[in-house]
Amino acid sequence: MEKTKIIAIASHKGGVGKTTTAATIGSLLSSQGKKTLLVDLDAQRNLTSTFLGTRFSPDMTLYEAFCGHCAIPICHVRDNLDIVPSSLDMGALDTVIASRIQRETILRQLLKSVKDEYDWILLDCPSQMGIITVNAFTAATSIIVPISCDAYAAEGLLQLIKMAEIVSTGLNPVLDIDGIIITRFHTRRSLDRMVEQDLRGHYGELVFPTKIRENATIVHAPIMSLDIISYDPKCNGARDYAGLLKEIEERLK
């Protein structure tokens, strides 16, 4: 098996499509026969709900694994797709592990025993740039950053880049930011075109050519506890993410 790609999907802002990106890319990869593991690092547990349902209540979640009570818990979703579920307790994790030795490397150690079983591992990060995100950056081989087209689109991006540089210097020398995804794009809205132009002007080829257009399926699919590929594989969002995945795979070769 080729070396496992571990991708942290991160942004300093909420509502930019981190979970949608993780869920859709994960679904596409698994449908292509690539063994994929999704890791829900967010206390809102939206990725967990998308694949396991809102009423699913596992005995062990990523929180218990971080606390040392169990190995990393993996739930099977379907062929080639597994998930590590999150819980609301993740919101208190910064405080709980504050005094732990090497607390920045807990996730990397948890993944060590299972990563060789997967082609791709996607880490759905919380919006806060705290110890959980540091763990994700320490474990990852690359970072992908979704950014929505609003007036404050790039707000926090410099902070994320600075954190990535700190982690790559001290904890994870292979880490790099491999791309910025423009999400929730309205083709007819002038603000969106201005934001796109600004992002491409500042970050050049780091911004993926494919944009993720805003469409109702992206909103409706999670309500049905489905990723958008399973909900409507022909919608604009599904087609956009399929194009994006080709670009991601080419960039990470």
Q: Does the structure show a pLDDT above 60 at 183?
A: yes
3-state secondary structure of 26: helix
Cα–Cα nearest to 97, from 125, 144, 62, 149: 62
Cα–Cα nearest to 58, from 70, 103, 68: 70
pLDDT at 117: 97
Q: Does the structure show a pLDDT above 70 at 14?
A: yes
Alpha carbons 194 and 164: distance in angstroms, whole number: 27
- Domains of the chain: which residue ranges? 5-251
Structure confidence by residue, pLDDT tens digits, 29-53: 999 999 999 999 999 999 999 999 8
Q: Round the average pLDDT of the chain to a whole number and report it.
A: 92
Structure confidence by residue, pLDDT tens digits, 47-100: 999 999 877 777 899 999 999 999 999 999 999 999 999 999 999 998 999 889
Q: Does the structure show a pLDDT above 80 at 104?
A: yes
What kind of architecture, by CATH, is found in domain 5-251? 3-Layer(aba) Sandwich (3.40)
